[in-house]
Amino acid sequence: MALTPDEVVRLAGLARIELTAEETAMLAPQLDVILDAVATVSEVATDDVPPTSHALPLVNAFRADRVRPSMPAAEALAMAPRAEQSRFRVPRILDEGAQ
């Protein structure tokens, strides 16, 4: 199941990574190797092997519903490339694929 360059371009688009044609050509076969490896694992996975998403044998690690101090707004906003009116200023959104 070889990945086509188009599929790589599409994945890159979803991940917002800009790739040159050379990079796409280089990455497609590498991604193929990864997909093949996953496919091999799928072969041994049978119905009596429950899918594992977590290495820890834990469930219900809940936190009590208690408010804890937040960080000062100034500290949060200090990380913003630009801030205005105590808010993070971001470039115009509409050209981006919206939520």
Partner 1 sequence: MSSWTTDDLMDYDEVMERFDPVLGLEVHVELSTASKMFCGCSTDSDADPNTHVCPVCLGLPGSLPAINGHAVESAIRIGLALNCQIAPWCRMARKNYFYPDMTKDYQISQYDEPICHDGHLDLEVDGQSYRVEIERAHMEEDAGKSLHVGGSDGRIQGAAFSLMDYNRAGVPLIEIVTKPVRGLGAKAPAVARAYMAQLRDIMIALGVSHARMEKGNLRCDANVSLMPKGSDELGTRTETKNVNSLRSVEGALSYEIRRQGAVLASGGRVRQETRMWQESGEYTIAGREKSDAEDYRYFPEPDLVPIECSASRVEELRATLPELPAAKRARLAAEWSFDETEMAAVLNAGALDLLDATVTAGAAPEAARKWWLSELSRRANEAGCELSEVGMTPVQVAELQALVDDGSLTDKLARQVIDGVIAGEGDPQQVVASRGLAVVSDDGALGAAVDEAIAANPGVAEKIRGGRVQAAGALIGQVMKAMHGQADAKRVRQIILEKLS
- Residues of this chain that bind partner 1 (CB under 8 A): 14, 16, 53-54, 56, 58-71, 73, 76-77, 79, 84-94, 96-99
Residue closer to partner 1 by CB (options 21, 93) is 93
Nearest distance from C-beta of residue 44 to partner 1, angstroms? 20
- List phi, psi (to 5°) of 43: -65, -35
Give the span between the Cα atoms of 77 and 41, in whole angstroms.
Answer: 45
Q: Which residue has tokens 């190797």?
A: 33
Nearest distance from C-beta of residue 88 to partner 1, angstroms? 4
Closest C-alpha among 31, 43, 22 to residue 4: 31
Residue closer to partner 1 by CB (options 22, 99) is 99
Give the span between the Cα atoms of 76 and 81, in whole angstroms.
Answer: 11
Nearest distance from C-beta of residue 97 to partner 1, angstroms? 7
Residue closer to partner 1 by CB (options 44, 91) is 91
Give the span between the Cα atoms of 77 and 63, in whole angstroms.
Answer: 27
